[in-house]
Amino acid sequence: MNNPSLKPAIRIFENLFSKMNDRFFDGCLVVPVIVISPEGKSNINGWCTSWKAWKSTSEKGRDENIGDDDGYYEINLSAEYLNDPINVIIGTLLHEMVHLYDLQEGIKDTSRSGYYHNKCFKKSAEAHGLITEKVEGSGYSKTELSPEALDFVKTLEDVRFDLFRTVNNTETEKSVKTTVHRYVCPSCGNIVRATKVVRVGCLDCNKQMLEQEDKTENLKEILLHEE
């Protein structure tokens, strides 16, 4: 019996990234580090770092200063979703590749710590093989493969993942129950949530944000709402 390993799954994603890069981005995307890890408390299928999270130790010594422009972005796929239909999994990867494209092009496609997907993301996504749907609270965050992309997937060899991670619902319930404080800018309505009482200001309006009652009982409900 072979030892269980995520290496085959990562190789599959690297191969898919290469093929979709050529098909939907004319090969312009820089290659990221692809990671598979638990979803944690965020209930999201994947994400792309907004900074070059990985640095190479071979190009510069460990004691050298490494600049912000050096290194590699990270695309992370959640291990709990490797049992989803393959179209959904590939759609998640393509969604994160759109974020990577926007990073390279200097396009700000999200706000609210990456939760809210704006019209810039919608434009990029629909130009690169995705259909978008607007969701209350998170913008154009819901995506699925376009008919063109679905036809492309049919040309791929059978894609199958041997492992996926399960969720301990009892531990999840215990870990996310916490008091949430909601702060709103009195001018523009920007919202910030925190797990403790804080003083926070809106940099757009240069005004202190005011705490308001949050109808959501705990952090889990917020995250599920914003997914």
Does residue 61 surpass a pLDDT of 60?
no
CA distances from 59 to 20, 50, 71, 191 (A): 28, 22, 10, 42
| Structural domains counted in the chain | 2
How large is the average pLDDT for residues 83-109?
A: 97
Which is higher by pLDDT, 152 or 220?
152
Q: Are residues 47 and 145 in the same domain?
A: yes
User: Which residues are registered as beta bridge partners of 182?
Assistant: 193, 212
* DSSP H helix total and E strand total for the chain: 6, 12
Alpha helix ranges (H) inside the chain: 7-25, 86-105, 119-126, 147-154, 169-176, 219-226
Which is higher by pLDDT, 67 or 152?
152
What residue numbers bound the domain in which 74 lies? Answer: 7-154
User: CA 87 to CA 107: how far, in whole Å?
Assistant: 26
Q: Are residues 137 and 183 in the same domain?
A: no
Lowest mean pLDDT among 121-125, 129-133, 160-164, 189-193: 189-193
Could you tell me the pLDDT band of residue 132, with boundaries at 50, 70 and 90? Answer: very high
In a domain, 32, yes or no: yes
Average pLDDT score over the chain: 84
Could you tell me the pLDDT band of residue 64, with boundaries at 50, 70 and 90? Answer: low
Could you tell me the pLDDT band of residue 220, with boundaries at 50, 70 and 90? Answer: very low
Return the percentage of the chain with pLDDT > 70, whole number. 82
User: Which residues are registered as beta bridge partners of 48?
Assistant: 75
Tokens of 87: 């179209």
- pTM > 0.85: yes or no: no
Q: Are residues 213 and 101 in the same domain?
A: no
